[in-house]
Structure 1
Amino acid sequence: MTDFLKIEREGGIVTLTLNRPEKRNAISTAAECAEVADACRALNRDDAVRVVIVTGAGPAFCAGGDLKGMRDKTGITGGNTGAEIRESYRRGIQMIPLALYEMDVPTIAAINGPAIGAGLDLACMCDIRIASETARFAESFVKVGIVPGDGGAYLLPKVVGMSKALEMSLTGDPITPAEALACGLVSQVVAPEALLPAARAMAERIAVNPPQAVRLTKRLLRESQHMRLSTLLEMSAAYQALAHGTRDHREAVDAMLEKRAPRFEGR
């Protein structure tokens, strides 16, 4: 472990904080990538976890990769040959989208400041994005002569549409929170002091629902992006069979009929 990631848990809601404020939470090493990926996989296996919030310590959300490491060919972009650099991406930064984006647990990015390059892509790996008024966003890889290496070419168009994704990726120019809200990159913009309370409130609204139904719903929406309608309907029927067989489904129906608050156990 590198202590790059601070993990805090309150009930079923877990907050992951990128904790290198002196480096603007830039992701510098393969060990830091592994720490994030391992945490995501462990939380996904934990049935008691209902929602995960991802944020950054200090004034930045995540400044992306470490430019000094890039210059010196160390860290997550290390290697002297094309083959070595390819492997450094596959065994480093690319572990994060494979773990974070693929989580069944709902995730919320609380974007407290600049989300640049890989930092923006990290935010796009989350399901819901809430931004502080101090946030800025840039898909800025082209500014340093490289391409998105961590899944941004897949993630960003799904969030903002292809035209806006191409504009952001080919210019590398930053956009403001207001612009991010207008293009659907974020769903809320709030004052800095209201950011974590807003993310927590959203997490609580999700966490009150039956956890297995929440996870199945998230997976269904994710898979719907790659499927024909007929295939999705088959998957929906299978997932519905699973959901109908849970105790929480029966509890939800009983609670509605009895006009009382439900008591979900995740079973």
Structure 2
Amino acid sequence: MSEPFALYETRGRIAVVTLNRPDTRNAIGEHSDCTDLVAAIERANADPAISVLVLTGAGSAFSAGGNLKGMRDRNGIGPLATPADTRDNYRRGVQKIALAFAGLEIATVAAVNGHAIGLGCDIACLCDLRVASDAAKFAASFVKMGIVPGDGGAWILPRAIGYANAAEMILTGDTYSAAEAKGMGLVNRVVPADQVLDQALALAERIAVNPPRAVRLAKRLLREGQHSRLADVLELSAAFQALAHETADHKEAVEAFLDKRPPQFTGA
């Protein structure tokens, strides 16, 4: 039996998920690939001991996106026999990945170790933060193949890099270097290729040292703020703050600050 597409491991309060098909540059071609990734995402989210998920790829690429051979042969996660079948195929395949990321309450960091193309680029952009190899390339190259972002990219990219930059990427299908990606806000930082995962983990650790419940509540507020009115976010913020004030970690943070000592958070 082959290894799952998404390998899962924990490092303290950090879950590391690795896309594990280096022979195909971590292309996503089968429904089992989608299922494995969704399962890993949901596993991390369901674990109260986890505050951050770091997503990376095995081998030389983060993810080459969809599998073109599967598209040609009309099997896997793309086109099937009829348009109706194809529509359903997208809804029960790659779109489940986008919905799983949207439902996360933990923070996410993409360690983009290599090329992130098409679906691979959109998956990286579903993460809150992105650390990229200086050799990485990014493209929303769907139009180059005569198709559109069936994975939700038209929603994902504008929220990550703004409408104008997203329109340029999606409508041209061009490929961008890591430096260009940083210039348009697609990545937070660019680092040498051999430091990508270490730097992503270091960033994740800066998040994970904070009280876990506060991190989850803050992440949910950030997500809600992307599509809600200010008045609605204010109401939700007041409700979340009322919960946060009653946590043991909040009390510990205040006491530690006043006592001038490092806090000891327990997640309670």
Q: Does 2:204 correspond to 1:203?
A: yes
Which residue number in structure 1 is paired with residue 128 of structure 2? 127
Partner residue of 2:51?
50
Q: Which residue number in structure 2 is paired with residue 87 of structure 1?
A: 88
Q: Give the Å deviation of 1:266.
A: 0.8
Instruction: Output the CA distance in 2 between the equivalents of 1:256 and 1:10.
Output: 27
Asked if 1:241 corresponds to 2:242, the answer is yes
Other structure's SS at 2:109 match: strand
Offset of 1:9 from its aligned partner?
1.3
2:232 corresponds to 1:231: yes
Spell out structure 1 runs of 4+ moving beyond 3 A.
none
- Secondary structure of residue in 1 paired with 2:151: coil
* Sequence identity percentage: 55
Letter of the aligned partner of 2:251 in structure 1? Answer: R
Q: State the shift of 1:102 in Å.
A: 2.2
Q: Is the 8 A contact 1:141 1:172 kept in 2?
A: yes
Cα deviation for residue 2 of structure 1 reads 5.5
Matched, 1:11 2:12: yes
Aligned counterparts, 1:97-176, within 5 A: 97-176=98-177
Q: Is the CA contact (8 Å cut-off) linking 1:101 and 1:126 kept in structure 2?
A: no
| Equivalent-residue separation in structure 1 for 2:212 and 2:134 (angstroms) | 31
Structure 1: runs of 5 or more not aligned: none
**Shift of residue 11 of structure 1?**
1.2
Match of 2:219 in 1: 218
Aligned to 1:94, what secondary structure does the other structure show?
Answer: helix
TM-score normalised according to structure 2 size? 0.98
Unaligned stretches of 5+ in structure 2?
none
Letter in 2 for 1:139: A
Partners in 2 of 1:226 and 1:156 — Cα distance? 14
Q: Which amino acid aligns with 2:72?
A: R
- Alpha-carbon shift at residue 233 of structure 1 (Å): 0.7
SS at match of 2:55: strand
Task: Answer yes or no: is the 8 Å Cα contact 1:2–1:35 preserved in 2.
Answer: no
The amino acid that maps onto 2:202 is A
TM-score by length of 1: 0.98
Cα deviation, 1:18-75, whole Å, max 9, x if unaligned, reads 0100000000101110111111112101000121100001111000000000011100
Alpha-carbon shift at residue 256 of structure 1 (Å): 0.5
User: For each residue in 1:95-146, what CA deviation from the matched residue of structure 2 results, as whole angstroms up to 9, or x when unmatched?
Assistant: 1111123211101000011100000000011000010011000000001111
